[in-house]
Structure 1
Amino acid sequence: MRDSAEERRVTVGERVGEVSALLLKPEGARLLYVLAHGAGAGMRHPFLESMAGRLAERGIATLRYQFPYMERRARRPDPPAVAEATVRAAVEEAARATPGVPLIAGGKSFGGRMTSSAQASAPLPGVRGLVFLGFPLHPPGRPGDERAKHLSQVHIPMLFLQGTRDDFADLKLLQPLVQRLGGLATLHLVRDGNHSFKLPKRAGKTDTEVMAELVDAIVEWTARLT
């Protein structure tokens, strides 16, 4: 499936220009996940490549895309306004590429947070739910939930996939947050996983098995949306 991804361009706006994207659409796709990358690695990172391929095997298409700073190979992420505009443009491109296919959106860490921020500002057209692959609730060693204040303005279902050793999300803060969001929020914990869903050797679980767990959780959750 990895080799069959179609390269596309996403137009963000006159000032920003275009960014690259990859559409992986299995035959008869029942859903498309608009999948954003994290702050430190782009859309071709092995984790996202694997995620896209595994989801395709389960009938879920993906549109991965670059944020403008990553397209320029800059280190500093875009300002929220630019990142949110990019999310919105990617969602619009996904709808054009797969007319009639229901959409979900989200992504890894920074990408998931920017997607939720865009959704909180104004609903993303056609998006039925958000999936976060390691929501970055706070910087490591600086616990707090200010980064999640906007989630109260998200009125569609949300799935949080989080490692129990994630130093970007203290579970003592994340679990009460999910509870406050009520029935719209679902939390799936990967035991012993860190922010990259890596497990210590003592856990006795391979990266492949962890990816299978993540994909299973997404497939089961999305089945309730469609």
Structure 2
Amino acid sequence: MQTESFTLTTALGHRVDAIATTPDDAEAAYVFAHGAGAGMAHPFMAGVAQGLAERRIACLRYQFPYMQAGSRRVDAAPVAQPTVRAAVAWAQGRWPGATLLAGGKSFGGRMSSQAQAAEALPGVAGLVFLGFPLHPAGRPGTERAAHLAQIALPMLFVRGTRDALAEAGPYAELVAQLGGLATHLAIAEADHGFHVLRRSGRSDEEAMEELLDGLWAWTQAWRLPV
């Protein structure tokens, strides 16, 4: 496995750090954007990258400009989306023979899907969302996902059953609205960060393995070779 650290430059001129993890036998690649509150080096992000490498999937993690600058205020879509596009373009050049996936954790997944809905991300064959922030806590709804109807790619939604930003009812409604393109993988007892309570009898490590195995199985179900 090879790990590379480098800098991406967006179309707006923002320079952001990035990390690419490449297994020796990579056959697919995931462009993996971070969530609102933690950057690409967060243990969850690193754990996903490592686990994917063990499953023959390369991973590109990268910062959004606000995180690079140390700000707590997330980027607006006109800033975030060019960052997604810069990351996808780099991944397409680095892994030209791999099946290319894009998405991310929470905010990063939503920015990736908005970019895809606005203008197709070149080379991307599917989208993977880890904790898609469907609605604010305590205010269930599907309005944040309206743009997904404009996407004609297979989409995997990995959701913790205790996720306060993704209650079961609205999620079922979303999956039904998207039809056969949407797959919902529920991680039992996990919250928005995919942590589980000890009293559940499960561990964070078990939840992570279920997430990674489910992602890999989804690529097989869609005949996305890995």
SS at match of 2:8: strand
How far does residue 8 in structure 1 lie from its aligned partner after superposition? 1.9
How far does residue 48 in structure 1 lie from its aligned partner after superposition? 0.7
How far does residue 154 in structure 1 lie from its aligned partner after superposition? 0.8
Distance 2:14 2:33 in 1: 18
How far does residue 97 in structure 1 lie from its aligned partner after superposition? 1.4
Distance 1:16 1:74 in 2: 18
TM-score by length of 1: 0.96
Distance 2:85 2:157 in 1: 21
- The ranges of structure 1 where at least 4 consecutive aligned residues each deviate by more than 3 angstroms after the TM superposition are none
| Structure 1 position 35 matched with structure 2 position 32 | yes
TM-score by length of 2: 0.96
> Which of the residues 41, 44, 57 maps onto 2:41?
44
Tell me if the contact between 2:99 and 2:224 (Cα under 8 Å) persists in the aligned partners.
no
SS at match of 1:39: coil
The aligned counterpart of 1:115 is 112
How is 1:1-226 mapped onto 2 (pairs within 5 angstroms)? 4-13=2-11, 15-223=12-220, 224-226=223-225
Query: How high is the sequence identity, in percent, across the aligned residues?
Result: 54
The answer for unaligned runs of 5 or more in structure 1 is none
Distance 1:121 1:158 in 2: 16
What is the identity, as a one-letter code, of the residue corresponding to 1:154?
I
How far does residue 87 in structure 1 lie from its aligned partner after superposition? 0.5
Distance 2:37 2:137 in 1: 15
The answer for unaligned runs of 5 or more in structure 2 is none
| Residue range with higher mean Cα deviation, 117-126 or 92-101 | 92-101
SS at match of 1:5: strand
Tell me if the contact between 2:27 and 2:97 (Cα under 8 Å) persists in the aligned partners.
no
How far does residue 16 in structure 1 lie from its aligned partner after superposition? 3.6
| Residue range with higher mean Cα deviation, 4-13 or 85-94 | 4-13
Q: Alpha carbon RMSD of aligned pairs, Å?
A: 1.0
What is the identity, as a one-letter code, of the residue corresponding to 1:225?
L
